[in-house]
Amino acid sequence: MASLNVGNLGEYLREQRRNAQLSLRQLADAAGVSNPYLSQIERGLRKPSAEVLQQVAKALRISAETLYVRAGILDAERDRDEVETRAVILADPTLTEAQKTALLQIYESFRKENGIEIAGDAAPRQTAQDGDADPQQTAG
pLDDT, tens digit, for every residue of 72-124? 877 766 666 777 788 888 888 899 989 999 999 999 898 888 876 554 444 33
The predicted pLDDT at position 91 comes to 84
The predicted pLDDT at position 6 comes to 55
The predicted pLDDT at position 7 comes to 56
The mean predicted confidence, pLDDT, of the chain is 78
- CA atoms of 93 and 62, how far apart (whole Å): 12
